[in-house]
Structure 1
Amino acid sequence: MRDSHVSSSKLRAAIYVRISKDRELGKAGEGLGVQRQQQDCQELADRMGWQVVEVFRDNDRSASNGKLREDYQRLLDWIREGQIDVVVVWHTDRLHRSTTELEEYAKVCNAMNVPTHTVKSGHIDLKTPTGRMVAGILGLTARFEVEHKAERLAAKYRQMAIDGKSRRVSARPFGFERDGITIKPDEAAELLKATRAVNAGEGLKAICRDLNSRGIKTTMDKEWSYTSLRKMLLRPRNIGQSVYRGQVVGEAEWDAVVPIGEFLTCQRILTDPSRRTTPGSGRKHLLTNIAKCGKCGKGLLPGMRPNRDGTPFRMYRCCVYRDIEELEHLVSRAVVLILTKHDARKLLTPAQPASKDLEQERSAIEAQMNEAADAFTAKLITMAQLTRITSDLQDRMEKIDAGLIDRDRARIFDGLISVPDVMKAWKSLSLARKRTVVNTLFTITVQPVGRGKVATAEHTTIRLKNEVAHVLDMSDLSTMIGAFPDESQMAEVVRAFS
């Protein structure tokens, strides 16, 4: 092939253009769109009398991070295959910003005698040491400017986060206007509703289906998914906290859209390690892994086997087994019995200080922690003193958070207590909420029956969990059903109630 600056015949030219997401950080031309780059390169090719045979574009691809640029690789392939005679770019930093890439590019171009011309820097002679040095310096200079400006922006964003300031991001946060500060009432209401649904025991997939069925989209105009909803519900932004690189760094300038107690409850539920997070159809039965085997202590799982007449027998099984319908009916009656016949309203008002008092105390502790950090920065206290102060305050904070979570337990029983027909309300709940109610109220153990015997209600132990029994007052409970822990008496009451 002939060198373009020697031959006067029409040579085949390839234009390479690129713009990356770091366009705000770089030098002049970094923010230049690919269309403008292509136009300038085309004008250069026309002046030189070259025929442009292909334009290679890499949109949103950085030349600094080492990630694959598909069209750049395709350009190298065209050069190796002898399909082009000259490369035209707007600036050398469009091609590369690392010496490794420059060396590879120079090797490929020199092997095929393909020169490089730029709009801003003229002809780059990659055959000579001086030319390669100039190209390398231009690329490294561009890389330095990008990294240096990135450092300044990172420091700026960190300080903004510490000061509680909102910064403009590509995606508007759900529940807020574009400025990130002004609350968007309709979305904020949906955010609070979704938080309360999780606290009441509803599953994320069910909440997603509800949002999508009502045409409520994300701020990217997409339907809600398990991942996007979970991420949104766990944002510290929801309670007016500012975050930098995943860490809460202080109070923000915007107001909270979710009460802190409800947020902490939701956070505890969604980050519980035992929570099922693997893809699948989810639980299909009320007592899966809630009812325990009386022989080995493991959770019962649903199963099926044929009866003698060939009809399916659906059961919970482990070392023991029970008819699914009968066991679920027994437990459902126990739920209705507890929520109907006893002073169940106590479940809505646990013996804790008012939420507002707890929130005020929590804010005071946060202020003390900030004051301690400022004192350390001003060298008024030592690191050992700061550590001791922070540790003490963290312990108090954890106790307050536990109280706030306990205050929000009432959400589990929302719509079930002090209603005309508890059974009707119970039947209307989703399976996820029913499971949460049962798991909150009871410890259920299915006992072995013995060879040749028929399982009855007496072989199922249903006990109130300690924290629930404490709230309901066991003395009142005993007057209703006698010695509640005795499964035979419990079964008799349930049968009488039904």
Structure 2
Amino acid sequence: MTQKTTTTTLPAGIYVRISLDKHDGAGVERQEEMCRKLAAEHGLEVSRVYSDNSISAYSGKTRPGFIDLVADVKARKIGAVLSFAPDRISRNVSEYEPFKATLKNTHCRLIYVNGGEQALDDPNADLISTMLSSVSQWESAIKSARVAAAKAQHRRRGDYPTKPIRLFGYTHSGEPHPTEAPLVRDAATRILAGESLNRIAREWEDKGVTTTLGNRPTAQNIRKSMLSPTTGGFTHYELKKKDYSPAEWEKLSAWDKLGIIGRGNWEPVLDPEVWQALWAHLTNPARKTNLVGSAPRHLLSGIALCGHCGAPMYCRNKWYKKKTETAPKRVYYCKERGGGHPTRIAEPLENYITNLVLARLSASDIVDELAAGVDTDRRAELTTTRDMVRGRMADLEQQATLGNVGMDQFGRMNKALTDQLEAIDAELVELAGAGGVLSEVAGVADVRAWWVTATLELKRELIRALMTITIEGTPPVQYKFNPEYVTVDWKV
């Protein structure tokens, strides 16, 4: 009796990809449908579909689906790759050739809906597939250059930069969004007055506000949309790090990397002057942010200073192991190691500082001093100087374009003007930030009522603007809070 032999065939994998899908995945779904019909015609079972939706095969961006496909081919989990056409797999010869080599080494079949099965061991067929890949790469390069030229023309004309993902605050056509634009303007005012992005994000989420993709608002996505030059009415192109050497990239300022060309011809959501002050504020390296992404929850956290080493003090819970103690107490402490750093129970310290602030705000002379603290003359002077610097930068660029200024000289002069512009923006931010909360309090009739309703961020910014707090060390036996060991230096 002759024993019947059974041959086992590995299942097939389908790879689908489209560079830009404007129909919610319909493009890759159609490709998958045609590939499944192809699998049925060849008697193949499909075990997995590998998808890269809205990802270019020419740009060099990471394609998770393609990476998984190659890994499964190498692991011999699939015995055939089905795709719509060669340009779905790759539009880059340097990527396509190693992929074919992997298929050869694992004896994996490659079958296209539009192109049939590829004879990987046939030199003639191999040459043709390589040539087709080269043509696809050339077509992508031509298209990329054409699109880049069109975008550059739109930027020079000052047209609104339309993109697949709508920018928060604008409609698709580039007009201020009726409900989102007022939110952006209000947020800008509050941020310059000292409020945090985290608090604004929480408030927006409570109101049911979502991003343009329908996601919950976060400090990160709010910051990103507000930092876009488009929000301030500027046409720009963003410089790409890959186009520069590391040394050249380091020489560029954060402002240079925005690639701002000039004012656009659309109505900005934020006044350009406000946006520039906001941009300088949010990108200021000296601006302290919470590394874990949560806003400060304690009045003096990061504000009170250690009298032993000068470092900021923070808040935590601590058990004192007393018989009457049923819960830990909040305490301010210094994170620096070693002995001698003071610790204070939070509640009496916060009450003491609060009373000092309210007493100072209730003084008869404080309103005039706070109002005087908002230096409108200096702000006007800085704004005028900033316009003059920008004018000099524009003239310098024009002279360089005409060839009247060498590139080395242009680089040095432009760097000096850029540094001057950044210094002006930094001072404007300082005036806008401190002046915002002080000017708000200056117009309040009942400061105690204002304090009760004010946000924690505003209270903290007011304390920063009014005083410097240093917590001194105490004698070994100190059972009650003693204000003598708290040094307050008034700024106003």
Q: Check 1:452–1:17 CA distance in 2 against 1; reply closer, same or farther (3 A cut).
A: closer
1:169 to 163, 170, 174: 163
Out of 253, 270, 279, which is 1:258 matched to?
Answer: 270
Q: Which residue matches 1:207?
A: 200
Q: Is contact 2:471–2:485 with CA below 8 Å preserved after alignment?
A: yes
Give the whole-Å Cα distance in 1 for the aligned partners of 2:484 and 2:117.
92
2:177 is aligned, of 166, 169, 184, to 184
Ranges in structure 1 where 5+ consecutive residues have no aligned partner: 1-10, 25-30, 470-498
Equivalence for 1:229: 222
Paired AA for residue 173 in structure 1: L
TM-score of the aligned structures, taking structure 2 as reference length: 0.77
Deviation at 1:63, TM superposition (A): 3.9
3-state secondary structure, aligned to 1:416: helix
Equivalent-residue separation in structure 1 for 2:237 and 2:437 (angstroms): 33
State the SS of the aligned residue for 1:232: helix
Matching residue of 1:367: 391
Counterpart-to-counterpart distance in 1, 2:49 and 2:305: 64
Measure the CA separation in 1 of the matches of 2:272 and 2:127: 59
For residues 294-341 of structure 1, give each alpha carbon's deviation from its aligned partner in whole angstroms, at most 9, with x where no partner exists: 233222333534264432554334422333222211211222222221
Q: Which amino acid aligns with 2:103?
A: V
2:351 to 313, 320, 329: 329
Letter of the 2:310 counterpart: G
Q: CA deviation at 1:426?
A: 0.9
**Structure 1 residues 58 and 316: alpha-carbon distance in aligned structure 2, compared to 1, 3 A threshold:** closer
1:104: how far off? 4.5
Contact preservation (8 Å) 1:118, 1:124: no
Distance (whole Å) between structure 2 residues aligned to residue 209 and residue 133 of structure 1: 59
Q: Which runs of 5+ in 2 are unaligned?
A: 1-8, 239-256, 335-340
Q: Aligned to 1:69, which of 61, 65, 69?
A: 65
Q: Does 1:442 align with 2:456?
A: no
SS in 1 for 2:441: coil
- 1: distance between equivalents of 2:10 and 2:219? 51
Matching residue within 390, 404, 410 for 1:386:
410
Give the one of 329, 339, 351 matched to 2:361.
339
**1 CA distance for matches of 2:276 and 2:188?**
10
Deviation string, structure 1 residues 204-261 (Cα, Å, up to 9, x no partner): 2211111111112211122101211121222222222223125232222223332455
Contact 2:57–2:88 under 8 Å retained in 1: yes
> What's the counterpart of residue 91 of structure 1?
85
- Whether contact under 8 Å (1:338, 1:344) holds in the other structure is no
Give per-residue Cα distances to partners, 1:447-468, cap 9 Å, x unaligned. Answer: 3333446653233221123xxx
**TM-score, reference length from structure 1:** 0.76
Which amino acid counterpart does residue 16 of structure 2 have in structure 1?
A: R
Alignment partners' CA distance in 2, 1:447 and 1:110: 73
2:300 equivalent among 281, 287, 294 = 287
Deviation digits for residues 379-426 of structure 1, max 9, x if unmatched?
123335534653554455345424533442332236533323211211
Distance 1:385 1:450, change over 3 A: same
**Partner secondary structure for residue 242 of structure 1:** strand
Which amino acid in 2 is paired with 1:169? K
Helix, strand or coil at the partner of 2:377: coil
Structure 2: distance between partners of 1:32 and 1:451: 74
Q: Which has the larger radius of gyration?
A: 1
Paired AA for residue 412 in structure 1: V
1:315 equivalent to 2:337? Answer no
1:404 corresponding residue in structure 2: 428
CA distance in 2, matches of 1:429, 1:21: 49
Is 1:247 paired with 2:263? no
Paired residue for 2:291, among 278, 301, 322? 278
Deviation, structure 1 residue 359: 4.2
> Residue 418 in 1 paired to residue 430 in 2?
no
| Matched pairs, number | 443
Q: 1:95 to 1:327 in 2, by over 3 A?
A: closer
Q: CA deviation at 1:135?
A: 0.9
Judge conservation of contact 1:164–1:253 (CA < 8 Å) in 2: yes
- Structure-2 change in CA distance of 1:340 and 1:56 (3 Å): same
